[in-house]
Structure 1
């Protein structure tokens, strides 16, 4: 029986991607580097640090990675605070409350920084539902490396065989599977050009899930 659900954040709980995109491309313009859509899409699931480490090498930037990270966060934070129409993705709030009210443990494992996670959680009152919050900034390698999900599973009240991850990105799904954890691929309209084919099950809307469905998901998927 599934006892712990590990959520990604961006593209699963809230769509902050337009704000991230604005911040990144504003900074790319400042740095005078031409980042293609293909390259930008490949960063989905990366931490900000890993993104700038990759860009620094690709474009031979002389800037300090920490300075690049801080500049991007400053642009993002200003844009986030002024974005009044930011909402939880449709159906996810109801799912989170349903799982929590029925005793399911919820853990967040996001590539986002702690500052960004805190901004989102505070804005939408999510702290009360999650026992732990894990940020990608604490790990040297981003998804698809499994470290973040392995750590999240170690915080679970149950063995990882009784955990499940909800992810919307290619790198996130691969990280979940590399960690040996069952994965729900969320086919989000906000996450472009992502390959979810390695997920154990793919959903198009959160109304496809509820506590009863999630609880029995391990036996259902492992028997298929």
Structure 2
């Protein structure tokens, strides 16, 4: 593998519990029962892609702004790094390998979180949810990132935690390492490799690492 492409939420930082809590608040405020199966549909995907399925005809941009306004709500789970994530990003950079971030989140959020875990100066290529017409599980974000760093998709490995993210990476023709931070390992078994977190992952990965 020549290049490493990283998802953000759930892969480099543990924020999914926080994000899902915010989506629950939004649904409740609009009279929709936030049952688990419904809320989990947001995992790894852009809110603007999911909301029309759940609330047809609603003002999606207004709803996205509303959920973002909950960011400072007291009682939300803390944002913490995924173990080993920042170290892996540093190892990739130290080897001189191309790397990029491919996230469904807004660019400003991504830049702030990368800085918080100490790798903001290393991740210079970011494809955010604002940069693509269609979000994950569509592969366009990963394909855009591969093009920007100048590496064929087949020579890229993507690190993902969500089902939508794995589908996007594999549809782009990339190897995918699934990080079991937000899903049970058995749910992620279709990825090329499943790991509990990012600790101890060596770089570069070889085919033997993926067996």
Runs of 4+ with deviation above 3 angstroms: 82-85, 190-194
Tell me the alpha carbon deviations over residues 1-32 of structure 1, each in whole angstroms, 9 at most, x when there is no partner: x2210000111100111221222112212111
Aligned to 2:59: 64
2: CA distance, partners of 1:194 / 1:143: 21
Aligned to 1:145: 138
Tell me the alpha carbon deviations over residues 34-58 of structure 1, each in whole angstroms, 9 at most, x when there is no partner: 132112112211102112222222x
**TM-score when normalising by structure 1:** 0.84
Aligned to 2:54: 55
Which segments of 5 or more consecutive residues in structure 2 lack a partner in the other structure?
none
For the residue of structure 2 that corresponds to 1:69, the secondary structure is: helix
2: CA distance, partners of 1:66 / 1:85: 26
Which segments of 5 or more consecutive residues in structure 1 lack a partner in the other structure?
none
Show the 5 A alignment for 1:154-173. 154-173=147-166
Shift of 1:220: 6.1
How many residue pairs align between the two structures? 211
Distance 1:54 1:193, change over 3 A: farther
Distance 1:54 1:170, change over 3 A: same
1: CA distance, partners of 2:77 / 2:122: 23
Tell me the alpha carbon deviations over residues 121-166 of structure 1, each in whole angstroms, 9 at most, x when there is no partner: 2333322111201112332322211111111111123222211101
**TM-score when normalising by structure 2:** 0.89
Shift of 1:79: 4.1
For the residue of structure 2 that corresponds to 1:45, the secondary structure is: coil
Structure with the largest fraction of helix: 1
